[in-house]
Amino acid sequence: MRRKRRSVGRAGSFGFFRAHYQIISIAALIVAGMLIGALLARQAAASGQNNFGSVLKASFSAQTASQGFVSLMLSSFLSSSLLLLAAYLCGLCAAGLPVLVVLPLFKGAGLGFSIGYLYIQYGLRGMTLAALCILPEGLIVCIALILACRAGMRYSYRLACTILPTGKQYSLWSDFVSFSCCCLACLGLDLAASILEALIITGLHGYLF
């Protein structure tokens, strides 16, 4: 009886991974990118390169917060939406899969570098700022990027199959509409993340550098 329960549990876990392997794989790429970014931040701090620290400090300075909610929101939205735009354009390309793999790594590396460098340079205060100002927005953007990259991979694969003479044929128009709607929803998540980040930074005006 116990063996049967164990086999059912393993089958259920494998079935869950099989059903969501794309999301899990893309999330793993983001985590790997964060580890790479943290290592790069450690190397940059060890080599005495303060340019990165100056940029991060300026991003969380009281002067930056005084720019106003709308300015902060637009700045955050424009910078993070570029990744979603890249995921959308690569999804429309039959050979866009390699870039769709790199995008989560790039996003993760940026997060890992920022969090790691703030912690190395400013200790507990830097970690607190990272937890308040970087992680909430970064988590939402990562979710949006995961969904956009998964949809892009599917459409890119189906586009490639349709182009190849021996490939399986798909109804590309309905897939295109679904893919575009997914990316539009991800853009909405990105906008929500930008609004949240602007609210947090303006609210922490007195605590920033």
Query: Considering only CA atoms, which of 64, 90, 83 is closest in space to residue 140?
Result: 83
Domain span including residue 10: 2-45+68-203
Whole-structure pTM value:
0.86
Look at residue 26 and tell me if it is in a domain: yes
Residue 50 lies in a domain: no
Confirm if 42 and 120 have CB atoms less than 8 A apart: yes
Ordered per-residue pLDDT tens for the chain, 209 residues: 455 555 545 555 666 666 678 999 999 999 999 999 999 998 888 887 666 666 676 677 666 777 888 988 998 999 899 999 999 999 999 889 999 999 999 999 999 999 998 898 888 888 888 898 899 999 999 999 999 999 999 999 888 888 877 667 677 888 999 999 999 999 999 999 999 999 998 888 767 75
What's the structural domain count of the chain?
A: 1
| Whole-number Cα distances in Å, 206 to 54, 80, 121, 136, 201 | 19, 26, 20, 19, 10
Whole-angstrom CA distances from 105 to 11, 36, 112, 142 are 30, 9, 10, 11
Closest by Cα among 64, 66, 67, 48 to 56: 64
Q: Is residue 173 part of a domain?
A: yes
